[in-house]
């Protein structure tokens, strides 16, 4: 599509550090796999990367959790590239469906760990894991430490 010179619109939002790093990991994987379409993620990626560095400096233990999250997203990306087209053709395997559910569960657990380390006042909760024979993550009740995504017109 041709360049649109009009101002961009962003939304300022408070999110947990786990959600923030999840977004960063997704963008990093998309950029690594996007080839010629990489420019579509560059603006957001570059803006969030600086904030990610600040979070790592403040909470060094989070960097290893982020590395796990990034690896998980690489696996998920590869799985989705195969499973989504198959699902749209009504040919998705049960094994791929189960693998996606487990990857999502692992992603939520890592986000919980990040939120706990960073003393987030809230964290994502997936009610459908309750009673599924899976131990629920520890609730995060510590005081708020927000990362603000500030809208920028570039």
Q: What is the pLDDT of residues 65-88, one digit of tens each?
A: 999 999 999 999 999 999 999 999
For the chain, give the percent of residues with pLDDT over 70: 82
Distance of alpha carbon 35 from alpha carbon 140, whole angstroms: 38
Average pLDDT over residues 127-150: 46
1 burial level (CB within 10 Å; 0-12, 13-18, 19+): exposed
pLDDT given for residue 5 in this prediction: 81
Provide the 3-class DSSP secondary structure of residue 93.
coil
Question: Is residue 133 left, alpha or beta, with left meaning phi > 0 and alpha meaning psi from -120 to 50?
Answer: left
The residue that leads in pLDDT, 28 or 140, is 28
Distance of alpha carbon 125 from alpha carbon 113, whole angstroms: 13
Q: Which of 4-8, 12-16, 78-82, 125-129 has the lowest mean pLDDT?
A: 125-129
pLDDT, tens digit, 9 for 90 and up, residues 97-106: 999 999 999 9
Pick from 154, 151, 147, 153: nearest CA to 53: 147
pLDDT given for residue 151 in this prediction: 31
pLDDT, tens digit, 9 for 90 and up, residues 106-122: 999 999 999 999 999 88
Please give the mean pLDDT across all residues of the chain. 82
The residue that leads in pLDDT, 42 or 49, is 49
pLDDT given for residue 133 in this prediction: 56
């Amino acid at each position: 599509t041709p360049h649109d010179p009009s101002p961009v619109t962003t939304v300022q939002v408070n999110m947990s550090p786990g959600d923030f790093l999840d977004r960063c990991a997704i963008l990093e994987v998309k950029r690594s796999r996007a080839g010629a379409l990489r420019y579509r993620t560059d603006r957001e990626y570059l803006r969030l990367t600086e904030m990610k560095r600040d979070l790592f400096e403040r909470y060094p233990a989070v960097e290893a959790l982020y590395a796990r999250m990034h690896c998980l997203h690489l696996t998920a990306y590869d799985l989705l590239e195969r499973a989504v087209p198959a699902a749209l053709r009504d040919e998705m395997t049960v094994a791929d469906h189960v693998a996606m559910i487990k990857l999502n569960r692992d992603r939520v657990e890592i986000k919980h760990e990040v939120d706990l380390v960073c003393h987030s006042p809230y964290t994502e909760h997936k009610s459908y894991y309750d009673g599924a024979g899976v131990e629920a993550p520890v609730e995060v009740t510590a005081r708020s430490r927000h990362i603000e995504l500030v809208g920028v017109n570039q």
